[in-house]
Amino acid sequence: MNKPKMKSFTEPKTVTDYPLGATCPSDHITSINAGWRTYRPVIDQEKCVLCMRCFLVCPDGVIDKSSDRLEIDYDFCKGCGVCAYECKPKAIKMVKEAEFNG
């Protein structure tokens, strides 16, 4: 699975160093951000029909569709639950991190 490109954040020295409008860099994450997640989405591959709805609605873009099954990058998933809420066949369940046994 290809992870998002991580770039170091450099504090701008002056106001003119801040990017404006369309010149603002995108498609990067500055750090792994899953440390405060309370629940994690877990995909039941038997129930998944590969409709890609979860992939389309994930606000963090952490659902990988590059293989024959969907996978979640837990390093960057915040556990918001949007994917589980939108999953029509109910193939995604939110599981407490403390109870997850991988």
Question: Which domains does the chain possess?
Answer: 15-99 (3.30.70.20)
Mean pLDDT of 77-87: 94
Q: What is the pLDDT of residue 35?
A: 73
CA dist 41 and 70 (Å) reads: 12
CA dist 63 and 72 (Å) reads: 5
Mean pLDDT of 39-50: 95
The distance from CA 35 to its chain's CA centroid, rounded to whole angstroms, is 13
Q: How confident is the model at residue 23 (pLDDT cuts 50, 70, 90)?
A: very low
